Structure formats: structure tokens, C-alpha cells
Amino acid sequence: MIKKRYLVLADGGIYEGTAFGGEVNCIGELVFNTGMTGYQESITDQSYNGEILMFTYPLIGNYGINFDDDESVTPRTAGVVVHELARKVSNWRSQMNLDEFLKQHHIPGIAGIDTRELTKIVRVQGTMKAALVNTLEQAQAFLQSDVKKTSPDLVTQSTTQNAYPNPNSGKRIVVIDFGLKHSILRELAQRQCNVTVLPATATAQQVLNYQPDGVLLSNGPGDPKDVPTALAMIRTVEKTVPLFGICLGHQLFALANGADTYKMKFGHRGFNHPVREIATNRIDFTAQNHGYAVDAASVQQTDLLVTHQEINDQTIEGLRHKKYPAFSVQFHPDAAPGPHDASYLFDEFLDNIESFQRQRRISTHA
């Protein structure tokens, strides 16, 4: 039996569609993703915590779901909006369909929505609160509620609660989990890194107790200004060992060094964003998922140097510290899903570590 479901926008718009996935209502910020593939990686990306994820590509679910491509064990995407849900799955790796997967994780979905038209609305008006509900009465109740209220605890929900290892034989890397994607751990594992993952609440002393060769600040959801406790940790760690920030980690690196961040009108979410490295004019096509950016004017009075820019809107995509071996990028060099153009940045991180340790040995024996 086909069940109705309604997508309700904070501006009063109500869109009728067909229900799939979890049989629950949800409230979240409506955002859009322009990727043609990668719906599983996106839905399981903790950076989408609290967001209703709308796919602009018209057919979603055609290659199913498999256990290998999850970016986290417990996805926290609030809801999913598609134009058409694939009726049949065709891929040898598939272990279930998207409807079954969303039911398993109690995430509601709605199909039959003109996602291209709705994306134009979001581009003009900006991201807004929305809800997926099962009745028109519930839709009206949402519109009469405090729809602007947001949760400041998204990172707390997404981070690990306990430290855990991902052992190997190479460099000792501490990863601070603000909403970590598993593909970051895969990239480090491919380079034989001996990884320990720590919660977002880790102090500088707790980080340094592991005697790391380098520290990586992960991606994560929400407003970087909702994670003020991380800033003191970053300021201490960057003076001690090489540091690499990705996405939310990039924004926190900026805040810790005196720059500012702001909420974008509708953010960058997709796998085809062109980024220019300023020093070389190299162009990388990148995977991105963020609704906040570093304010370019605020960087000028800091010890940070802008290294990368987004070609379409010139937003800051990379920073490097002028004094310490620390750098960050706004995009996802782990490229899951998306192009692999920028995976070399993990090698650059390890090169920074080698260079730092070499200089330290020279100064010790001088």
C-alpha cells in the first residue's frame, strides 16, 4: 500500500509525496547534494547530522546498499528527499535496498518530489528548517512551532565516546573525531599509519599523552562555533606536532588561530567542486559537504595563509600556518564519494611529519 508523506518548509510550503524508509517524523535543515552517485556515503556521513538530505539527481537507490561503503555505523541524517526511488536494484555488491536501509536506521524518506524545483528555492532563500510528516495536521503543527530552533550538540552526538585504535606499523597519528568519516581512516591505513581515535572533547594533554607524530582534525556536523572547547587543544597541539584539519577540522583550525567563520547561504554539498591551489594553479575536483566557511577578511590579521580557493564562489578552501607545520582544507581529500584528485594531501601531511622530525633531530644534535 502506497503511503503519503509530506515535506514541510519553514516558509510555509507543503509538498506531498510517497513515504519510504523509517515510519517516523523528523525535523531538520533542508540541504541539497548534487552528486550523481554516493547516496550511501552521504547518508552515513556524520556531517549530515540533523539535516534533511535532498538529492538533485533524479533517480536514487539504483545500485542498492552494501556494508563496505558506510562512512559511519550509525547514520544521523534526519531524513531523505528524492525525486524517484529506484524500484529495482542492480549491482553485484548490493546487500539491501535503500528503503530497507533507511527503515533499519529509522530515517524517513519521501519520493515523488520535484527536487530540481525545490533546489532552486533553497538556492534563492537559503537553507531552511523543514519537516517530514505523515499527516497535514502534523504539517500545520510544525509550521506553528519554533521552527528556527537548532541543536548545538551535533558534534556531541556524532563523536565517539571512547578512544579506540586502528593499529598499523607506521607513523603514530591521533585523529580527533568530530564526526569522523571511515574513509579518512582508510586513507591513513593505506599509508600504514598507526592511528588512535579520540573523542571531540579530548584535551591537549590527552592528545599528547599518546606521543603522536601528527594529529588530524576530522570532519563533522554543524556550526564550528558550537565546539569552543576544541580551540585551546588545537592552539597547544599545533605548536608541538604537525597538524592536518579536514572540513569542520579546517574551520576549527581557523577559529583557533583568530580567524572567523560564517554560515553560507546554501553551502557546498557534492562531488564536483573545483578548487584551485593558489601557489601552483593546480585544479582539483573535490568532494564537499559543509554549510559554514572561513571569512576571508578575518584571515588577514592572523598567522594563517590561504592556500586554496573554490573556483565558483572564491570561498576559502585551504589554510596553512605561517609558523607551525599545520594546515587544513575545507574539502574531503579522502574522496568518498567522489574524485581522488586531492588524496595527495594525506601524503603531504606525512611529508610534513618527516620534515618536522628531521629538523628536530638536527636541532637536537647541533
Q: Per the annotation, does 270 bind a ligand?
A: no
One digit per residue, the tens of pLDDT, for the chain of length 366 reads 689 999 999 999 999 999 999 999 999 999 999 999 999 999 999 999 999 999 999 999 999 999 999 999 999 999 999 999 999 999 999 999 999 999 999 999 999 999 999 999 999 999 999 999 999 999 999 998 876 566 778 999 999 999 999 999 999 999 999 999 999 999 999 999 999 999 999 999 999 999 999 999 999 999 999 999 999 999 999 999 999 999 999 999 999 999 999 999 999 999 989 999 999 999 999 999 999 999 999 999 999 999 999 999 999 999 999 999 999 999 999 977 888 899 999 999 999 999 999 998 887 776
Residue 352 φ then ψ, to 5°: -60, -40
SS3 358: helix
H or E stretch at 108: strand 108-111
CATH dotted code for 4-143: 3.50.30.20
Q: Per the annotation, does 298 bind a ligand?
A: no
Catalytic annotation present for 334: yes
* CA–CA separation, 258 and 304 (whole Å): 9
* CA–CA separation, 16 and 8 (whole Å): 9
Selecting among 268, 290, 308, 332, the annotated active-site residue is 332
Selecting among 99, 177, 334, 341, the annotated active-site residue is 334
Q: Per the annotation, does 6 bind a ligand?
A: no
Catalytic annotation present for 193: no
Partners of 294 in the β-ladder:
261
Selecting among 193, 247, 284, 290, the annotated active-site residue is 247
Catalytic annotation present for 226: no
Q: Per the annotation, does 222 bind a ligand?
A: yes
Q: Per the annotation, does 47 bind a ligand?
A: yes
Q: Per the annotation, does 169 bind a ligand?
A: no
CB 196 within 8 A of CB 172: yes
Domains 4-143 and 154-365 share a fold: no
Q: Where are the domains of the chain?
A: 4-143, 154-365
CATH dotted code for 154-365: 3.40.50.880
